[in-house]
């Protein structure tokens, strides 16, 4: 094909490739009907559409569903790990929301969100708008709750798979959630300290949750009587559940508290008259909407 094909040549190339894909699909389905379903050649040919709709589409429904859940879980956890491993992440998030999402450039904004760690670092760390501070605090709190639950299950599964039974009682019902929260919080502490490998540490979290999702799905599909879950044990006792919920309110606020204190520290640096960047940040804040 020429380096600069004409529109007619491009259309012809597209048509040829489409035909090749269609022929390959029909040939593969025909052979599947003959070799696997033991059909006669004529019946196998006229049964191509039935095989595609019944066997391939409906038969792949479970695979597509689990695959979609894995993509969603991995995508969300990967986004959050990029946020907690980057000390500028919430300022970057504010910029993406106001510049792209609120401006109608949803696709561009989502693309920047998925590549948060590759975005240029802003000069300052704390979000410029009070509404952004409130939103980011709520986001941190909600994600802290999610990680308390998910990593409690992940730690419980690791112990269970190693043959170590963790009896749940009133003395240790909060121990596992506390350890679970320490995992993502430690990544944020690395970001505060500008540790260069914070992202490498945080990157194991999506994989851990992927394994948890996969094991839960396998246990459910195979009806395993041996599968144990931390939350199921907790919910069997109302006192344990009440203790987890009430103390979880405090546990999930710990990352919010430290983030707000960190922002207060950064705002104090911004307000320092000796800081040459403070004036420019003040001008940016004055020009930005109040939210």
* 8-61 pLDDT tens trace: 888 888 899 999 999 999 999 899 888 888 888 888 888 888 888 777 777 778
Helix (H, G, I), strand (E, B) or coil at 58: helix
CA distance 219 to 162: 16
Q: Are 88 and 125 in contact (CB under 8 A)?
A: yes
- In eight-state DSSP terms, residue 122 is P
CA gap 33, 113 in Å, rounded:
45
Q: How far apart are CA 86 and CA 77, in angstroms?
A: 14
Q: How far apart are the first and last CA of the chain?
A: 54
Task: Give pLDDT, residue 41.
Answer: 86
Q: Does the pLDDT at position 160 exceed 80?
A: no
Burial class (CB in 10 A: 0-12, 13-18, 19+), 209: buried
Q: Are 228 and 156 in contact (CB under 8 A)?
A: yes
Over 50: is that where the pLDDT of 282 sits?
no
- The CA distance from 128 to 19, in Å, is 55
Given a contact cutoff of 8 angstroms between Cβ atoms, the answer to whether 153 and 168 are in contact is no
**Whole-structure pTM value:** 0.74
Q: Which of 23-37, 170-184, 219-233, 274-288 has the lowest mean pLDDT?
A: 274-288
Per-residue pLDDT reduced to its tens digit, 109-154: 888 888 888 888 888 899 999 999 999 999 999 999 988 888 888 8
Rounded to whole angstroms, how far apart are CA atoms 181 and 150?
10
DSSP structural state of residue 102: T
Strongest mean pLDDT among 162-166, 226-230, 241-245, 259-263: 259-263
DSSP structural state of residue 121: P
* Separation of alpha carbons 85 and 33, rounded Å: 51
241's CB contacts (< 8 A; 6+ apart) are: 234, 235
Q: Report pLDDT for 2.
A: 56
Q: State how far the alpha carbon of 233 is from the alpha carbons of 145, 168, 169, 214, 238, in Å.
A: 18, 7, 10, 20, 10
Please state, rounded to an integer, the average pLDDT across all residues of the chain: 83
What pLDDT, on a 0 to 100 scale, did the predictor assign at position 75?
85
What's the angle, vertex CA 266, arms to CA 260 and CA 271, rounded to 5? 120
User: Residue 92: pLDDT band by 50, 70, 90 thresholds?
Assistant: very high
Confidence tier at 70 by pLDDT (50, 70, 90): confident
Which band of pLDDT confidence, cut at 50, 70 and 90, is reported for residue 284? very low
The answer on pLDDT for 285 being more than 50 is no
Share of the chain above pLDDT 90, in %: 25
Q: What is the pLDDT of residues 224-254, one digit of tens each?
A: 777 778 888 888 888 888 888 888 899 999 9
CA pair distance 245, 147, nearest whole angstrom:
14
């Amino acid at each position: 094909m020429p380096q600069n094909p004409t529109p007619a040549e491009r259309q012809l190339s597209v048509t040829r490739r489409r035909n090749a894909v269609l022929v390959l699909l029909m040939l593969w389905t025909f052979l599947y009907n003959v070799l696997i379903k033991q059909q006669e050649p004529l019946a196998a040919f006229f049964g191509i559409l039935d095989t595609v709709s019944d066997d391939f589409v409906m038969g792949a429904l479970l695979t597509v569903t689990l695959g979609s859940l894995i993509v969603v879980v991995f995508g969300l956890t990967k986004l959050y790990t990029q946020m907690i491993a980057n000390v500028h992440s919430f300022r970057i998030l504010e910029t993406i929301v106001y510049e792209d999402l609120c401006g109608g450039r949803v696709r561009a904004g989502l693309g920047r969100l998925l590549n948060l760690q590759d975005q240029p670092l802003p000069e300052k760390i704390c979000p410029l708008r009070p509404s952004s501070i409130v939103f980011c605090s709520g986001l941190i709190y909600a994600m802290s709750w999610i990680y308390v639950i998910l990593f409690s299950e992940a730690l419980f599964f690791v112990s269970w798979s190693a043959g170590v039974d963790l009896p749940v009682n009133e003395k240790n019902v909060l121990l596992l959630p506390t350890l679970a929260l320490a995992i993502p919080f430690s990544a944020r502490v690395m970001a505060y300290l500008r540790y260069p490998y914070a992202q490498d540490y945080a990157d194991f979290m999506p994989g851990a949750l992927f394994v948890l999702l996969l094991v839960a799905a396998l246990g459910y599909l195979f009806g395993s009587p041996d599968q144990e879950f931390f939350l199921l044990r907790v919910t069997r006792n109302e006192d344990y559940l009440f203790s987890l919920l009430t103390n979880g309110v405090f546990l999930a606020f710990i990352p919010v508290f430290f983030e707000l204190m960190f922002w207060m520290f950064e705002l104090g640096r911004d307000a320092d008259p000796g800081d040459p960047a403070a004036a420019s940040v003040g001008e940016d804040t004055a020009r930005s909407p109040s939210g």
